[in-house]
Structures are given as structure tokens and as C-alpha cells.
Amino acid sequence: MSEIGMQFDNHDERIKYYELLLRRDLDALPVFPLPEGYKFVFYKQGDRDAWIDIEKSAKEFTDYAQGLKAWEKYYADHEKELWNRMVFVEDENGEKVATATAYYDITNRDKSGDGWLHWVAVRREFQGRGLSKPLILYVLNIMRELGYTHAKIPTQTTTWLACKIYLDLGFRPLPQNAIHSKCGWEIVKALTNHIALDSFAAAGIDDIISRPTKQNK
């Protein structure tokens, strides 16, 4: 980690927001097994609220209504596809504690035919238990089985630690995004000092923190 003299949460709204987009091919995926006591299960009808609850716990949503709005936008019209695309991690008690989806760009703006790794989240109290990397790789393997050769993952500077995990797993900034969100990648460089970002300068603290305007104070 860099020496910027400040600690950041893994989902930290103090950080200036930039959209980030990463990509990797789906060959030679590394292997990370789930810790003992956990298992993968696919989406089944009725799992919508479990998905919302996980994402809300991970600070992706502030409340249930916001989660429901996202579900309606991304999945409500595609639920018949989720049975072999949306994955959950369950603990030994059968509680769903993490999720990710082998998806695609529903906006049709991406003409590459790449798969999209969608809405990766681990319930707050289960973070740090070694669930995210096995989950991501499991879903990437599903993506490959579905016929995709490359995967993209959209993320943002405010979830910088997730970005580090994607870099650890071989994802790299999409060249166009590296240009358009150069300042964002400089923030991630400063917060992670990741070797994959050696071509970026590290942002200074004044370029990382989103200063409130007077009316927001």
C-alpha cells in the first residue's frame, strides 16, 4: 500500500469517483478453492431479495428500494437466464453471503461480444474470508463455458479494493478507459501500489479525496 497517511474503507465515498473498466481473456484461469464450509449455488426463483440484501450489506445500495430498482433494470426481464449465470456463495447454514453473475452488456453498446462480470459483492461481515477470488473465478469459468472468450468488469474508484482483486486475477485496464479515466487509475495506483499499474503515476491525497462543496457541508 502507498504511504498517503490515510486509511480508506473498501467502499469509501470520500474518494473521488471515476468509472473504471477492466478486461481479461478467459484462458489459463488461476484456481482458488472456496474455504471449507462454503459452497456455490445458482440462482433460483425467489432469490431476488437475497441478492439485494448482499449488495446492500456491501454498500452497493443504501436501502432496499434502491436495490429493487437495480434488479428491475438489470435482471427483471432476464430472470429465465439467471439459472446458469447468477451465482451465490452459501455458508454452512445455507445463508447466501456473496454473489456474482456471468452476464453481458444489456445496453447493447458493447459490440465486442465479451462477457460482463456483474455485481460482484460479499456480505459485509463475510469480507476478508477468502470468498471473492474463488467466486470471481468460478463465474469466469461459467462465462467460458457459455462461449465467451473475454470478460469485462465495470467498477469505480470508490471500490478500489475490489479493483485490486481484479488486477490480482489478471484483469487489466481497457486501453480506452485508461485514457479517459487516467485520474481514476492514478488513484487506484496510489491506494494499491499494484504492479500492473506501473505505467500510472500515483495520485496525491488532494487528488484522491472528494472535497465537499460549501452547500454540502
Q: What is the pLDDT of residue 107?
A: 84
Handedness of CA 163, 164, 166, 171 (dihedral sign): positive
Q: What is the pLDDT of residue 199?
A: 96
Q: Measure the N-to-C terminal CA separation of the chain; round to a whole number of Å.
A: 30
67, three cell numbers = 436495490
Q: Is the pLDDT of residue 17 over 80?
A: yes
pLDDT band for position 212 (50/70/90)? low
Average predicted confidence (pLDDT) for the chain: 93
| Cross-sheet strand order for the sheet of 115-122 | 39-42, 86-90, 96-103, 115-122, 150-156, 19-25, 172-173
* pTM for this model (two decimals): 0.91
Structural domain spans, the chain: 28-148
Handedness of CA 91, 92, 95, 101 (dihedral sign): positive
CATH topology classification for 28-148: Aminopeptidase (3.40.630)
Burial of 82 (0-12, 13-18, 19+ CB in 10 A): buried
